[in-house]
A and B are shown apart, each in its own frame.
Chain A
Amino acid sequence: MEIDQHAAGTAAPPPVRIIPIPDATSAGYWEAAANHVLTVARCAVCGQTTLPPDMSCPHCHTTEPGFTFVPVEGKARVRTWTVIRRPFLQGFTPPFMLVDVELNDHPHIRMVAGLLDGAEAKLEIGTPVVVAFEDIAPKISVPAFRLEKSA
């Protein structure tokens, strides 16, 4: 028989965040993230960087890119943003802010991630942000950003 938890007065469990499952191409990225280091994938053939790593290099198109994950400065500029008021995923409490940023030292790389300053943060194109990490489970941290002035 099913037990109605609400009727029993049990508090709802806290939202569970979606866990990234590393694979052969991404293990280095998530390992670094667990240590609060943001990395990008560098191609062993042409030396150029990309994110996410694909099975070939998007720059020189080698099928043996031998990507290594190199740390970045972690500073970025906001290109655009949105406040999510109706998430499609579980584990996210609306409203929350997503920012789309370009990395200062790798401006061709864009990342979409949460902004930890909240949905009311005042942004414009070019607002400086720095990487921050959300520790969502033991040894699992997810990159996010924070306004540089508040960091």
Chain B
Amino acid sequence: MSRVFKARNQVALVGYAHSPAVRRATRPLGVTAIETAKAAIADAGLTVGQIDGFVSAPLLPASGEHKAQDGISIVSSHWLAQHIGADPAYAVGFQGIGQLIGSLTLAVNAIASGAADYILFHRALHNPAGSYNDNPMTEARGADQWVAPQGFYGSMPTIALAYNEYCQRYGATREALAVVVSEARKNGARIPWSAWYGKPLSVEQYLAEPTLFDPLCRYDADMPVEGVACFVLTSAERAKDLKNKPVYIAGYAIGYPRENRPMLHWTLDDMMEAGKGVAARLWRSSGLGVADIDLPQAYDGFSPFVYIWMETLGLCKLGEAHELVLSGGIDSDKPRTIPVLSGGGAIGNGRMHGVPQMLENYLQLSGRAGERQRADLTTGLSCHSTPSLGGAVVYTNDPV
């Protein structure tokens, strides 16, 4: 996008629902999805019959050997529309990484174009039994042959490599990353549907944990969970007549990997380079700059992503995010900080793939965050995945 988003502030979030995020589900994912979708539609003050669009990203979030089964381990837009008894004009799914923002842009564009009037947007995450990442392969074919025989496999080693380069280059310490994780868990512990509700993690607890993929430990990755989140989107015009205060989409930007690398080899430089493009397009698209954003929410599926996003967006200088963190600069309980994890993020909620960042924007900007409500917010921003595989969305509750 080379100019302001034509549909800037023309599409609004008008309702939501979130199931409990749990380590192991006792009911099929599809059942939770149906119930959460119905709750979100009711929350928006609508009926199933009014929903004429369904959008999602039904990727199964595990890199081990697991099978995708609709209604069981994934929930597609079509499956949900059928099982909720809707007759949609538009039901689509986003394929690829950066699922939340990829699918959200489909929903926003569909409302903006008039392809649908009311969209049920959902993300359903299944946590398969057994180990999430273990792979019993004895032979490596295709993309695997370039990494697995060498012992390189899984996303934690990937992030450990990129993050260690950050540490070596900028002098970042484990003590700073402990503050990131502890901040996420502190905020997640206050969210009733979080898998970590009532379970904060102290800096001391983090530091006592042995590293598994130096310099990362298990607390640096979000915990796989089973859970469903739904949002309802409609046009700004229709949103006026609904019961909740609308939160408008001001703009978005998505990044793409540019370098030819082996599978899962995401280098620090590749992510930061992609981030430059994402940030430039995001500010052009939304007509806003970083100084205009009241509530940025960093993606933290792996804790080091918080630094990458803070520096990509220009919330601090390159290489200085870890210093800002150590000096208390992201503490959501202190005044005049940049509370990038106020919604608990992925580490504080469980692996809901970008939902916590989007939901915190919706709750805070619509004035529906309850006891956690922050004052004087007009604009927000959610980050998703990495700058090279995901992107960022800008929101406002005060369209100009």
Partner-B contacts on A (CB < 8 A): 16-23, 26, 30, 50-52, 54, 58, 79-92, 96, 98, 100, 108, 110-114, 124-125, 136, 142-144
Contacts and interface: CB of A to CB of B under 8 A. Distances in A.
Given A26-B145, A79-B267, A144 B150 contact: yes
A82 B164 CA distance: 7
B265 A112 contact: yes
B141, B145, B149, B150: most-surrounded residue (chain A CB, <10 A): B149
Given A50-B260, A80-B168, A144-B150, 8 more contacts: A21-B145, A23-B141, A26-B145, A52-B143, A79-B165, A82-B157, A108-B259, A112-B147
Contacts of A18: 137-140, 148-149
Contacts of B138: 16, 18-19, 90-91
A146 B143 CA distance: 24
Interface stretch (B72-80, B207-215, B323-331, B335-343): B207-215
A31 to B, nearest CB: 13
B303 to A, nearest CB: 15
Given A21-B139, A124-B168, A113 B150 contact: yes
Interface string B129-153: 0010111111111110111111111
Interface string B188-222: 00000000000000000000001111111000000
Contacts of B268: 80
Given A82-B157, A83-B213, A88-B134, A19 B139 contact: yes
B223 to A, nearest CB: 15
Contacts of A85: 210-214
Contacts of A142: 149-150
Interface in B261-292: 261-262, 265, 267-268
A82 B150 contact: no
Contacts of A88: 64, 131, 133-135, 153-154
B149 A19 contact: yes
The 4 closest A-B pairs by CB, nearest first: A58-B260, A80-B165, A82-B160, A83-B214
A16 B148 CA distance: 13
A125 B142 CA distance: 30
B151 A96 contact: yes
